[in-house]
Amino acid sequence: MKDYYSVLGVKKEASDKEIKAAYRKVAKKWHPDVNSDAAATKMFQQINDAYEILGSPERRALYNAGNYDAAIDPFTEATEAELYPVGCDGCGAVSAQPRFVQYGRVFSLILFSIRSKPCGVFCVSCASKRLFWNSLVTGMFGWLNLWGFFWTIEVIFINLFGGTKNPALNAFVLGKQAAYFFSKGDSDIAIALAEDSICFFKKISMTDPNYEMGKSGSEVAHAILHSSGKKKRMVKF
């Protein structure tokens, strides 16, 4: 049986409030969009699995009693862990259209060039601002030596099409956001997000290191569509 208390860094006697606080702390630390460690994706998935069990009173009781199979069984009747929405990394808003986006940026001087890839989960407004800023910096300072000139062409082209949207991370983010809105009774938004999550999942290669994370988001999305019994048009970004 996995030691979910250790995953969240809390004691077995921790209160519900302490578990929630610990989850938010370690989830932020290990989220793949801010942590480049090779183990980040796997660790982040374990953190979410731990919170799903320890954040639910009934599942936690089963887990503490050693009944691990019942604790993780999705058909076990239980009060599910409180869901947290995905906030925009720019303004903090809870958006109905979040996307994990990676832009390109090049900064050059005569003797060297630096190419970076700023990324994060952004709402539509913040995504546009980040796109403009990174493209502006690249256009002004990226072409000042030979390598920078060629990198600038590549980066401007990528940014022109809205940056790079990792399908696995977007499938996860959209699935999680869909679950949040569904829990709040906003079924139309939840359905739109769920459909977007599934569309992103279809683009994932099985060799993608974030495949399992994307799959978990897609599974949530399928469950929401199944529960709703209907489909809506996708929200475009």
Question: For 56-68, how does the pLDDT look when each residue is reduced to its tens digit (9 = 90+)?
Answer: 999 999 999 999 9
Q: Are residues 146 and 190 in the same domain?
A: no
Does residue 208 sit within a domain? Answer: yes
What is the pTM (predicted TM-score) of this model?
A: 0.78
Does residue 176 sit within a domain? Answer: yes
Does residue 235 sit within a domain? Answer: no
- For residue 72, CA distances in Å to 19, 48, 58, 62, 222 come to 17, 12, 11, 9, 18
**Last residue in a domain, options 120, 140, 160:** 160
Q: How far apart are CA 44 and CA 1, in angstroms?
A: 18
Q: Are residues 146 and 119 in the same domain?
A: yes
> How many Cβ atoms sit within 10 Å of the Cβ of residue 59?
22
Q: For position 230, what pLDDT does the model report?
A: 52
- Higher-pLDDT residue of 126 and 234 is 126
Q: For position 86, what pLDDT does the model report?
A: 86
Does residue 233 sit within a domain? Answer: no
**Last residue in a domain, options 140, 160, 180:** 160
Overall domain count for the chain: 3
Structural domain containing residue 54 = 4-72
Does residue 217 sit within a domain? Answer: yes
**pLDDT tens across 172-216, in order?**
999 999 999 998 889 999 999 999 999 999 999 989 888 988 998
- For residue 89, CA distances in Å to 12, 50, 92 come to 32, 24, 6
Q: Are residues 172 and 221 in the same domain?
A: yes
Task: Write out 7-52 in H/E/C secondary structure.
Answer: HHCCCCCCCHHHHHHHHHHHHHHHCCCCCCCCCHHHHHHHHHHHHH
Q: Are residues 67 and 103 in the same domain?
A: no
> How many Cβ atoms sit within 10 Å of the Cβ of residue 44?
22
Q: Are residues 104 and 139 in the same domain?
A: yes
Q: Are residues 152 and 104 in the same domain?
A: yes
- For residue 157, CA distances in Å to 105, 117, 137, 188, 217 come to 11, 14, 14, 35, 30
- CATH code, domain carrying 36: 1.10.287.110
Q: Are residues 22 and 44 in the same domain?
A: yes
* pLDDT value at 155 more than 90: yes
Q: Are residues 175 and 194 in the same domain?
A: yes
Does residue 220 sit within a domain? Answer: yes
Token digits of residue 227:
């529960």
Q: Are residues 179 and 209 in the same domain?
A: yes
Q: Are residues 173 and 141 in the same domain?
A: no
Q: If you search the block for the tokens 């250790």, which residue do you land on?
A: 6
Q: Are residues 217 and 172 in the same domain?
A: yes
Does residue 65 sit within a domain? Answer: yes
Give, in degrees to the nearest 5, the angle at Cα 228 between 89 and 60: 65
Does residue 90 sit within a domain? Answer: no
